[in-house]
């Protein structure tokens, strides 16, 4: 699952795990280990740009696929589907969606709605944090041609391989509308 900050990726992932998989799946973020590491040293809430810097510093020392390899090791013995809500880099998309066959989903949210959610959830944000490469690497998908699927707003990106299987859920409005789009997506990917 890809998107930018404040789009509702975790909300979408929770719905996929709990409702669509009936609780028979696991949500695990690439960034969860970054949060855990930061919390060991922090005495207060760690700001987004510090988490971004920590993650990127570890990548620069141990390799660009460090967090991918760690997540793969941590989840290698899973016997249920894995839902990854924070695929933010093309490298991560390639590893999980192209090489391993995960079903890609992009969660679109208008920037105004995303910023309001960040204010509510995090007590604010820095615009510069939202403009960093890690937040923007997959957002090019929003500008691509999309075909609407069904009546609930679900779209599919019209691009050649390896982006031809990406569905887009618009999470800018009411949550029940997002859930209807996810239900449509679920039905489509399970027909294949």
pLDDT per residue as tens digits for the range 34-86: 999 999 999 998 999 999 999 999 999 999 999 999 999 999 999 999 999 99
Chain-centroid distance, C-alpha 52: 15
Q: Is the peptide bond before 162 cis (omega within 30 degrees of 0)?
A: yes
**pLDDT per position as a tens digit, 85-120:** 999 999 999 999 999 999 999 999 999 999 999 989
Question: Taking a C-beta distance cutoff of 8 angstroms, is the pair 27, 17 a contact?
Answer: yes
SS3 state of residue 124: coil
**Looking at residues 123-152, what average pLDDT do you find?**
91
Q: Answer whether 0.85 is exceeded by the pTM.
A: yes
> What is the C-alpha separation between 26 and 79, in angstroms, rounded?
10
Question: Taking a C-beta distance cutoff of 8 angstroms, is the pair 109, 3 a contact?
Answer: yes
pLDDT beyond 70 at 192: no
- DSSP state letter for 47: P
Q: What are phi and psi of 90, to 5 degrees?
A: -60, -35
> What is the C-alpha separation between 72 and 63, in angstroms, rounded?
15
């Amino acid at each position: 699952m890809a998107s930018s900050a404040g789009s509702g990726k975790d909300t979408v992932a929770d719905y996929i795990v709990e409702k669509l998989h009936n609780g028979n799946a696991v949500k695990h973020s690439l960034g969860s280990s970054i949060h855990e590491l930061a919390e060991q040293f922090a005495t207060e809430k760690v700001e987004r740009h510090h988490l971004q810097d920590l993650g990127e510093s570890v990548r620069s020392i141990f390799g660009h696929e460090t967090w991918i390899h760690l997540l793969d090791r941590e989840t290698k013995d899973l016997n249920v589907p894995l839902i990854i809500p924070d695929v933010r880099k093309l490298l991560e998309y390639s590893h999980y969606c192209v090489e391993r066959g995960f079903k890609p989903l992009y969660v679109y949210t208008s920037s105004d709605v995303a910023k309001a959610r960040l204010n509510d959830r995090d007590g604010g944000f820095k615009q510069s944090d939202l403009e960093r490469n890690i937040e923007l690497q997959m957002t090019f998908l929003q500008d691509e041609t999309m075909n609407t699927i069904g009546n609930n707003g679900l779209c599919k990106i019209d691009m050649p391989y390896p982006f031809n299987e990406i569905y887009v859920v618009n999470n800018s409005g009411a949550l029940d509308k997002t859930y209807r789009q996810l239900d449509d997506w679920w039905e489509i990917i399970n027909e294949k």
